[in-house]
Amino acid sequence: MTRTTYYTATTLDGFLADEHDSLEWLFRQHIEEDGPMAYGPFIATIGALVMGATTYEWIRAHHLEKGEAWAYSVPTWVMTHRELAPVVGADLRFARGDVRPVHEAMAAAADGRDLWVVGGGDLAGQFVEAGLLDEIWVQVAPVTLGAGRPLLPRPVDLRLEEVARNGDFACMRYGVVGTAP
Ligand SMILES: NC(=O)c1ccc[n+]([C@@H]2O[C@H](COP(=O)([O-])OP(=O)(O)OC[C@H]3O[C@@H](n4cnc5c(N)ncnc54)[C@H](OP(=O)(O)O)[C@@H]3O)[C@@H](O)[C@H]2O)c1
């Protein structure tokens, strides 16, 4: 069965990025690439992914404009209300509104592999509210920011499934129970 997972790093106080979309806090942490819940084994299971417009534009600004290639070989949906420039060589689908038809199209494209909700947090919340998110995997960095882009700004009940340490990070895997009252 296709699983849909929100997999992300976060600060201890629940931010994906600072108010200026900087990930400097993340890149100074240490992680073992072959350690628990690491990115490599995770991405190997993924057949399609979805991200919000801010995340897409961050990738464009920080990787592609430096001449680096698009990082993902699988189809990628970008949620936006705007006309965003595509990336040469990337399999991109732009969409807006209800995430349910997006999820259906992702599952068809993934052909039995799993789906990754890259972020941001509100987009992950939209998948929870549609009943379409199965798990949340977080790598919690030992840093607080006080403000920034939130990990998940909607009320969600979770079930703790797994806890591990990888380098500087506390890694947690949660099952999604549903929207919280
Ligand atoms: N720590 C990590 O590992 C990690 C992981 C992921 C992301 N990040 C970073 O965290 C930040 C996340 O930014 P963010 O909180 O602004 O979230 P985001 O999801 O990247 O972007 C939010 C934007 O996506 C568009 N959007 C979302 N849902 C939509 C829908 N259903 N229909 C149409 N458009 C929709 C809207 O943009 P428009 O209306 O303007 O088009 C919305 O303002 C970024 O800086 C990213 O680089 C960090």
pLDDT per residue over 60-82, tens digit each?
Answer: 888 777 778 899 999 999 999 99
Ligand 1 neighbours, Cβ below 6 Å, are: 8-10, 16-17, 21, 26, 51-55, 58, 79-82, 96-97, 99, 118-121, 123, 126, 149
Kindly provide the b/e burial profile for residues 46-80, where b requires at least 16 CB atoms within 10 angstroms of the residue's own CB. Answer: bbbbbbbbbbbbbbeeeebeeeeebebebbbbbbb
- Say whether the peptide bond before residue 121 is cis (omega within 30 degrees of 0): no
CA of 58 to the centre of ligand 1 (A): 9
pLDDT in tens, 87-143: 988 999 999 999 999 999 999 999 999 999 999 999 999 999 999 999 999 999 999
Sequence-distant (6+) residues with CB within 8 A of 41 are none
**Cα–ligand 1 centroid distance for 65 (angstroms):** 19
- The C-alpha angle with vertex 96 and arms to 95 and 101, in degrees rounded to 5, equals 70
Q: Tell which atom from ligand 1 comes closest to the C-alpha of 15.
A: 1
| % of the chain surpassing 70 pLDDT | 100
pLDDT digits (tens, 9 = 90+) for 14-27: 999 999 999 999 99
Rounded to two decimals, the pTM is: 0.97
Beta bridge partners of 5: 116, 135
Amino acid at 114: D
Pocket probe for ligand 1: among 79, 144, 168, the residue whose CB has the most ligand atoms within 8 Å is 79
Separation of alpha carbons 113 and 72, rounded Å: 14
Structure tokens at 174: 């949660």
How do residues 31-63 score in pLDDT, each as one tens digit?
Answer: 999 999 999 999 999 999 999 999 999 998 887
Q: Which residue has the tokens 């690439």?
A: 33
Q: Which residues pair with 57 in a beta bridge?
A: none
